[in-house]
Amino acid sequence: MPKFNSMSDLHFRPAPLTTLTEDEQMLRDAAADFAREAIAPHVHDMDQQALLRPDIIRGCFEQGLMGIEIPEEYDGAGGSFFMSILAIEEISRVDPAVGVFVDVHNTLVINAFNHWGSDDLKKRCLPRLAADTVGAYALSEAGSGSDAFALKLRAEKKGDRWVLNGHKLWITNGKEAGIFIVFATVNPEDGYKGITAFIVEPGMPGFTIGKKEDKLGIRASSTTELIFEDCEVPVGNVLGEVGKGYKIAIETLNEGRIGIGAQMVGIARGAFDAALGYAQERKQFGKSISSFQGMQFELARLATDIELARLLVYQAARLKESGQPFLKEAAMAKFYSSEVAERVASSAVEIFGGYGYVKEYPVEKFYRDAKIGKIYEGTTFMQLQTIAKLLMK
């Protein structure tokens, strides 16, 4: 067992995963300011109308939040994955619907282009994704949720075109997107080895945006059906290689789950902020309810849970960014942060009492928004399975 020669050997200093560089601090603060000033006044109306305001979409691009990881040579910010996580967390603290809009664009779409795009695709798509074009990631179908590779969308090669036929469901950013990464199978008999990723754009013949879902939470974020009826896609629009779409999907979703973890931490922080403020203002029996020990203990537990979830998310992001194994940590981060978000939001509703149950106050929305964290980009059951499998190794 190693011995420490002095207290200095213990290296008492902040853990690397909790410290931020100057650029990370600037990005985080800019995202927080934008969320507070531009998004916050419209959260209630966007939720009621189930619609993202066009000026907020433009603002996300103008603030550089939609091109954080796009290299500077393609007009992006040339930032890091961790910076995307910070932005998602701060925006979700105000409105998780805008948070997931930014999340999918960055952690799924842009990451897939950065890692798998040909030079031609990067030149054609990344500058647009940085400037004004929203990205969407189309994997899910009616019969393929947790079994992500049970795809029915078929792609057949015909000359210099691939022809797509089938449907996609639950596609985030479907209404706003101008670039879709669409997963289809070129040969169902090959199973996951037949899956291929295609770049599809609105206006391509045979491609239609279908029904927009009327959801419980994150209502301003569009979730749509995609319909492909003899949709012709140029051969140059294959992302990566034919038959390697499964690898793209696995790797991007592993990263995307950290983004969802950041969204859940943002939800928990937003709900907690509201509950703490209310507890200090609300008076019963002649004093604020925050002065009662029972309430203090509850707030202390919630604050501790949030910090733990946040550290898990940051740790997973730092590991991913440094090129170290991070799959177990990403699954833990998504699993635990979604549990915490739901628990904190539920407690916040109770702290508000009757006011917490009405839409005039923010906590009922955080409560509705939190539920999706246990479902999309890998259910809680799938995260636990992943964690257990990796532990057994």
Residue 213: strand, helix, or coil:
coil
Amino acid at 227: I
CB 96 within 8 A of CB 267: yes
Alpha carbons 364 and 366: distance in angstroms, whole number: 5
- Which whole-number Å values give the CA distances from 129 to 16, 52, 91, in the listed order? 31, 18, 19
Alpha carbons 362 and 348: distance in angstroms, whole number: 10
CB 257 within 8 A of CB 312: no
Q: Where are the alpha helices (DSSP H) in the chain?
A: 22-34, 43-49, 54-62, 81-92, 96-103, 111-116, 119-131, 245-281, 293-321, 327-352, 363-370, 380-392
345 burial class (0-12, 13-18, 19+ CB within 10 angstroms)?
A: buried
Catalytic residue among 176, 255, 342, 377: 377
Q: Which residue has the tokens 């005039």?
A: 360
Return all residues near 87 (Cβ < 8 A) that are at least 6 apart: 27, 28, 31, 65, 68, 102, 106
Known active-site residue 339: no
Total residues belonging to the chain? 393
Tell me which residues are annotated as active site.
377
